[in-house]
Amino acid sequence: MKYLFGGTFLFLVVLSLVEWRIQPENTASGKIPLVWVSDDNPACCEHALKFLLYLASREYNGLINHQADALALVKRYSYAEKYLRDSTFP
């Protein structure tokens, strides 16, 4: 058991040293700069738009109204008698 503990400890120390060696350099203020890299693919914008349109659709909001504990975000789909007093989920 002590060999397992010792081996795990040694492995974690080695990983810490590797991480310390590959970290970015500090700036003069002591902060490490964060670099955000994003793909400027137009297909991503199309997919994001389709997803947002789905979140605003009657189908999605009806699903939330029927199966969730609260009303959906788009209120015009929420205030129907079948969602305000759902007989299948009393």
Hey, where are the domains in the chain? Answer: 44-90
What's residue 89's pLDDT? 64
- Whether this prediction's pTM lies above 0.75 is answered by no
What's residue 86's pLDDT? 60
How far is Cα 45 from Cα 65, in angstroms, rounded to an integer?
A: 28
What's residue 8's pLDDT? 96
H-state helical runs in 26-84: 42-55, 58-67, 81-84
How far is Cα 47 from Cα 60, in angstroms, rounded to an integer?
A: 16
What's residue 16's pLDDT? 95
List of the chain residues with pLDDT < 70:
26-27, 83-84, 86-90
The residue type of 23 is Q
Q: Are 78 and 65 in contact (CB under 8 A)?
A: yes
